[in-house]
Structure 1
């Protein structure tokens, strides 16, 4: 029972790091919710970038150790890390803005947990599409 309480405390601690700059307007009474478009966009984008790096860095390390003897493939980890950075900087920016735009147009506030779910969900979808090779079948 105690470990479940510690897990909730750990998640709450991560979500309360206040990494998103706040512009609390008059209509945003809750301190933990993201009300402005830029707050929502930055929150989702931040989680997208962090989770993308968490997916790509282990893959790059694995490629580094397994392909270090190969003449040309030893440079593959550089490409993997670049995709882990360039993916969120291109597609992640646009999809995070789309998610924040829908929330803003609907007049809803986003809690930090929703930003985490949307950000990690975007990276997870990229990983699933890459493994399923759906684009190669088009």
Structure 2
């Protein structure tokens, strides 16, 4: 049906990025200003990081609930899911937005989603490989 909008289009049309002014870009979902691009990428980085870390914290909570010391591990996992995007994610998102701004390009919301989820996925893969190296 023509009235049906895909799930990804619904997510991208939420317009979660605050605007400084009316849209002077091409369309409503374009991000023109540095702060808009940075905020869009960091927002998706934080959301995807929590999506990766929340199931791990729930699994740890369920499996380690009777352990004397390890029962507090889910708190550490959730803190890693929050502190990671607030430290490294801020810097890498600013670098991505700076490159786009220096090149004079606009960023669409889908690009912000790809960069944000991509950052979280890279952190996930690197963390997993680092743990395997210690075994």
Asked whether the two chains share a fold, i.e. TM above 0.5, the reply is yes
Matching residue of 1:111: 108
Name which of 12, 16, 29 aligns with 2:13. Answer: 16
Unaligned runs of 5+ in 1: none
Aligned-residue CA RMSD (Å): 2.1
Matching residue of 1:63: 60
1:101 aligns with 2:98: yes
1:35 aligns with 2:32: yes
**SS at structure 2 position matched to 1:17:** coil
Q: What is the Cα deviation at residue 32 of structure 1?
A: 1.4
| CA distance in structure 2 between the partners assigned to 1:25 and 1:17 by the alignment | 16
Number of aligned residues: 133
| CA distance in structure 2 between the partners assigned to 1:23 and 1:29 by the alignment | 16
Q: What is the Cα deviation at residue 10 of structure 1?
A: 1.0
| CA distance in structure 1 between the partners assigned to 2:69 and 2:38 by the alignment | 39
- Structure 1 residues 26 and 33, CA gap change in structure 2 (3 angstroms): closer
Q: State TM-score, norm by structure 2.
A: 0.90
Matching residue of 1:87: 84
Q: State TM-score, norm by structure 1.
A: 0.89
| CA distance in structure 2 between the partners assigned to 1:54 and 1:27 by the alignment | 33
